[in-house]
Every structure is written in structure tokens, then in C-alpha cells.
């Protein structure tokens, strides 16, 4: 299996599972990732997802160039016709939080997967790069847009235009990742973060993620107006009442996503 997908205690764990190929994305893995993204979005039992790679050498090195033939359809057919998009992150549209545990090389599409996640932590041995220009291409899953929004423009442009990688320490310094961990502590830490998220009221968690994502593209006054509107929606939920009752009764809350 190119993807391992498990769910426990509201946490989905997605493991890119081609360690012999540094978890490079072949057509089978691309399709399996699409299915995984959709399941995270649609399964009400899932409150948060952790994404990582099998083995200790790589999170994901992007497309498997030996197994990625050009599509049979023209680009116009894919854009305007009936063919479903094979964009790496086309199905990744969810308000549920994604925690990425980068356990080694994160290059090309691998880094683009990490960039699409909400929280990124990394092994001290990880490294990061968008190397597409070195093979006559460009990042095609949001790399040119997300990276400059997350780190300073000069560092982003240097990475994009040279194809050079940065190590974990530099990734932390420029804000690409939020934490560095020893290799054997990485996945336990990602699971701990995911568990703390899963324990919170799911509608409130998803509302926060949507507000942060949508608000980044709005003027501040408009973003605050949107926040006030969403606050009103969350105010009337059962979970908000449950959270206050649990606090008063000094017990863990029992959130139901209502």
C-alpha cells in the first residue's frame, strides 16, 4: 500500500508509504492521497489528521519522475472537460486541522504537502526544498504561492529560483516549521498536538481554521467583521454550552460537534 490510513480517538494518521523510493509520489500514491484527503473531510469521526512519511530518510521527495508520464488529455481537456483533476492537493479542502510531521527530506511536492498543512513540525535531520526548476518545471501544487506567504520573500525566492534545500535549523529560523524534534520524538509529538486539538470542540476548531485562512486575504476590518459573525454562529452551538458546564462541574467536556 502506498498510503497507510488509520483512525483512532478522532485522529487520522496518513503515512506516505514508499520508503524504498523516499516516499516519491507515483500515480497510485497520488490517487490514494486524493482518497485520503476526501476521507478526512467527509468522515465525521475524524477531528484532526497527522501526515508523515514512512522510514527515517524522507517525508516525501515529490513526484516519482520515473513513473510520472504526461497525461493523455490536453491541458484544456483537464481544465474545462470532464476529466477529474489530478492536482496533488485538489481534494485537500477541509476545515479540519492537519499536522505535518516532516521526518526527512521534504522536496518538491513533498514540501508542497507540508505547506498545505496547518502545523508543521520537523525532525532535526529534515531538509526542505522546491527543486522543480532544476528539472525544467515549476512547483505545481501551490509552492510558488504558499512559501512566500509563510517565510520572508528573499529566502523564498532563493529557494524557488535555485532549487537549493535548507536544513531543519534554517527552516525553523525562517518560520517554515514551528518545532524541531529528535527523530524518535517527532511522531509522538505530532500525535500529542493532534490529541490536544481533537479534545477541543470540533466546530470551534474548524471555525478558527477557516477564519485564519480566509481572513489572511481580507482587510483587517472585514476580517474582524467575519470573525464577529462566526463567533455568533458558534455561540449558539451545543458544544459551547457543554464547554461551560464542564468547566463549572470540573470535568472533561463531552463535545459532539453540534
Cβ burial 54-83 (10 Å sphere, 16+ → b, else e): bbeebbbbbbbeeeeeeeeeeeeebeeeee
Least confident of 60-69, 156-165, 199-208: 60-69
Question: What value does the mean pLDDT take over residues 125-147?
Answer: 93
Report the alpha-carbon distance of residue 52 to residue 120 in Å, rounded: 10
Q: Are residues 177 and 222 in the same domain?
A: no
Name, in order, each residue with C-beta under 8 angstroms of 214's C-beta and a sequence gap of 6 or more. 223, 226
CA angle centred on 20, ends 51 and 69, rounded to 5°: 85
- Look at residue 258 and tell me if it is in a domain: no
Range of the domain at 47: 3-198
Q: Are residues 83 and 193 in the same domain?
A: yes
8 Å CB contact between 257 and 239:
yes
Q: How many domains does the chain have?
A: 2
Predicted confidence at residue 71, as pLDDT, reads: 66
8 Å CB contact between 59 and 52:
yes
Name, in order, each residue with C-beta under 8 angstroms of 66's C-beta and a sequence gap of 6 or more. none
CA distances from residue 108 to 45, 55, 61 in whole angstroms, order as listed: 31, 18, 6
CATH number where 217 lies: 1.10.12
Least confident of 66-75, 133-142, 157-166, 221-230: 66-75
> Is the pLDDT at 18 greater than 60, yes or no?
yes
User: What secondary structure letter does DSSP report for 70?
Assistant: P
Predicted confidence at residue 19, as pLDDT, reads: 94
Taking each helix axis as running N to C, give the angle between helix 202-215 and helix 238-249, from 0 to 180 degrees, rounded to the nearest 10.
Answer: 120
> Is the pLDDT at 101 greater than 70, yes or no?
yes
> Is the pLDDT at 83 greater than 60, yes or no?
no
Question: What value does the mean pLDDT take over residues 107-125?
Answer: 96
Average pLDDT, the chain: 91
4's enclosing H/E stretch is strand 3-8
Higher pLDDT, 252 or 90: 252
Is 112 considered catalytic here?
yes
Q: Are residues 214 and 115 in the same domain?
A: no
- Look at residue 59 and tell me if it is in a domain: yes
Q: Are residues 36 and 62 in the same domain?
A: yes
- Look at residue 109 and tell me if it is in a domain: yes
Final residue of a structural domain among 182, 198, 214: 198
Read off the pLDDT band of 135 (50, 70, 90).
confident
Catalytic residue, from 13, 112, 124, 238: name it: 112
Q: Are residues 189 and 211 in the same domain?
A: no
Higher pLDDT, 75 or 161: 161
> Is the pLDDT at 90 greater than 80, yes or no?
no
- Look at residue 159 and tell me if it is in a domain: yes
- Look at residue 22 and tell me if it is in a domain: yes
Q: Give me 130's grid cell.
A: 522546491
Catalytic residue, from 132, 170, 192, 227: name it: 132
* Sheet strands (E) in 90-211: 98-102, 105-107, 119-123, 127-129, 166-167, 179-181
CATH number where 103 lies: 3.90.226.10
- Look at residue 254 and tell me if it is in a domain: no
Report the alpha-carbon distance of residue 146 to residue 168 in Å, rounded: 18
User: Rg of the chain over CA atoms, in angstroms?
Assistant: 19
> Is the pLDDT at 50 greater than 70, yes or no?
yes
Predicted confidence at residue 241, as pLDDT, reads: 87
> Is the pLDDT at 85 greater than 60, yes or no?
no
Question: What value does the mean pLDDT take over residues 148-163?
Answer: 95
Predicted confidence at residue 86, as pLDDT, reads: 60
Amino acid at each position: 500500500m502506498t498510503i497507510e490510513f488509520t483512525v483512532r480517538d478522532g485522529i487520522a494518521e496518513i503515512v506516505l508509504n514508499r520508503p524504498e523510493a523516499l516516499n516519491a509520489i507515483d500515480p497510485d500514491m497520488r490517487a490514494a492521497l486524493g482518497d485520503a484527503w476526501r476521507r478526512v473531510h467527509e468522515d465525521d469521526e475524524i477531528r484532526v489528521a497527522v501526515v508523515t512519511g514512512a522510514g527515517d530518510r524522507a517525508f516525501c521527495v515529490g513526484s516519482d519522475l520515473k513513473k510520472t508520464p504526461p497525461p493523455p488529455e490536453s491541458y484544456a481537456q483537464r481544465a474545462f472537460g470532464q476529466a477529474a483533476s489530478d492536482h496533488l492537493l485538489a481534494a485537500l479542502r477541509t476545515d479540519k486541522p492537519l499536522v505535518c510531521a516532516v521526518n526527512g527530506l521534504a522536496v518538491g511536492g513533498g514540501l508542497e504537502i507540508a505547506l498545505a498543512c496547518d502545523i508543521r513540525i520537523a525532525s532535526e535531520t529534515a531538509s526542505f526544498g522546491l527543486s522543480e526548476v532544476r528539472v525544467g518545471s515549476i512547483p505545481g501544487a501551490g509552492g510558488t504561492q504558499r512559501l512566500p506567504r509563510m517565510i520572508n520573500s528573499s529566502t523564498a525566492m532563493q529557494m524557488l529560483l535555485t532549487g537549493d534545500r535548507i536544513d531543519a535549523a534554517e527552516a525553523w529560523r525562517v518560520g517554515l516549521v514551528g518545532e524541531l524534534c529528535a527523530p524518535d520524538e517527532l511522531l509522538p509529538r505530532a500525535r500529542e498536538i493532534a490529541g490536544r486539538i481533537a479534545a477541543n470542540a470540533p466546530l470551534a476548531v474548524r471555525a478558527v481554521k477557516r477564519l485564519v485562512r480566509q481572513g489572511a486575504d481580507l482587510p483587517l476590518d472585514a476580517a474582524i467583521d467575519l470573525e464577529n459573525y462566526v463567533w455568533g454562529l458558534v455561540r449558539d452551538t451545543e458544544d459551547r454550552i457543554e464547554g461551560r458546564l464542564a468547566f463549572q462541574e470540573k470535568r472533561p467536556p463531552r463535545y459532539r460537534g453540534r
